[in-house]
Amino acid sequence: MSCFSEYRDIVQEGELVLLWVSRDNIRPVVMDHKETFNTRYGSFAHADIIGKPYGSQIGVMTKSSNKFGFVHVLQPTPELWTHSLPHRTQIVYTPDSSYIMQRLNCGPRSVVIEAGTGSGSFSHAFARSVQKVYSYEFHEVRYQQAFKEFEDHGLLRENVTLTHRDVCQDGFTIKDGDTTSMPLQEREPTAEIGATAIFLDLPAPWDAIPHLSKVIAQEGKVGLCCFSPCIEQVDKTLEVMEKHGWINVQMVEIQGRRYESRRQMVRTLDDALNRLRDIKRRKLEGTERRQRALEAVGPEAVAEEMARVRAVTEKSKFNPFGKGSRVKEGDEHYTWKQVTKVEAEIKSHTSYLTFAFKVMDRTRDSDKVDKILASING
């Protein structure tokens, strides 16, 4: 089974784990009891991680500064992998991949075509959710890197077929003699694909679209999504989609934002007036104190007088506009309103998503319709 789809409790030797150092620093590491994972927060021996439950915090004291450093040990998921994978290309991030899968109706019975494979970010997400993924990559080194990675992660054993291919030129049909992870016996003479969903992350998707009719499912509705960074590409894609019978075309752009919700104190005009009165009173007290100190004789008397005045000056009360004693957010003695703040950055790709659908067989199956009607009518 793939280490991305099975659930495990305890970290074992040889397993891929994701070490969470911080939100922007998640590192994939294969456990080897002889190795150490080094960070600026300390060095973590793999032997101290192996045998611990997933989710554990692993801590060390640094020798030099005598400070406590820690990491969390997490089981790989496609979402965490997207954050930690080695980038070989631009990748598709989770806000986009989750939306695309939902729009393409992906589920456990879906058969997906994906081109190009790139860094394999989306391939991992597809692999967890669908029955079968056919992924294509024409760059030889990237194909080999993806092959090794998918093999290590158990994806090729489970439900992913990776093929070295220029899909714009040669289409998607897998034949005997192709460079592919597909076992020989499944290839001859040509592999039936029957894709129910297609995702094209290519510079020229319009050259690949004409090849799709040979490999999509002949029954039911098939979904297609093209991921393109510029509107001229979208325009060219639309033209070819329409020409080849793809309908219900829609273009979408994902703008990922993370909102932080919190309460903000409601401040009134009286609050502002009280604040101004407080400033005036304190100013007056300061002037009087300085005067009394000057009138006194000798430095000792000055210090004594200053200490006496400081003791009688009350501590700054709550100030809704800045300095002063602090109030806990939500304190029931004050009025609050709910507000949100946009967090600075969320990783998402600013590309346009063009969706379209196709139904190959439009004949009416009367028996099927009768059965459905009968089941509805009880």
Closer residue to ligand SAM (CB): 42 or 120:
120
Reading the block at residue 365, the tokens are 């199956």
Q: How far is the CB of 142 from ligand SAM (least distance, A)?
A: 5
Q: What are phi and psi of 119, to 5 degrees?
A: -90, 0
Q: Which residues form the interface with ligand SAM (CB under 6 A)? A: 89-92, 115-116, 118-122, 136-139, 142, 165-168, 201-203
Q: How far is the CB of 104 from ligand SAM (least distance, A)?
A: 14
Q: How far is the CB of 229 from ligand SAM (least distance, A)?
A: 9
Q: How far is the CB of 100 from ligand SAM (least distance, A)?
A: 10
Does residue 221 sit in helix, strand or coil? strand
Q: Which residues of 185-219 are buried (b: 16+ CB within 10 A; e: fewer)?
A: eebeeebebebbbbbbbbeebbbbbebbeebbbee
Q: How far is the CB of 123 from ligand SAM (least distance, A)?
A: 7
Closer residue to ligand SAM (CB): 88 or 132:
88
Closer residue to ligand SAM (CB): 137 or 212:
137
Closer residue to ligand SAM (CB): 168 or 191:
168
Closest CA to 208 of 171, 175, 238, 177: 171
Alpha-carbon distance 93 to 121, whole Å?
A: 7
Closer residue to ligand SAM (CB): 39 or 90:
90
Q: Could you tell me the maximum CA-CA distance found in the chain, to the nearest angstrom?
A: 112
Q: How far is the CB of 273 from ligand SAM (least distance, A)?
A: 58
Closer residue to ligand SAM (CB): 71 or 202:
202
Closest CA to 128 of 99, 153, 93: 153
Facing residues of 114 across strands? 135, 199
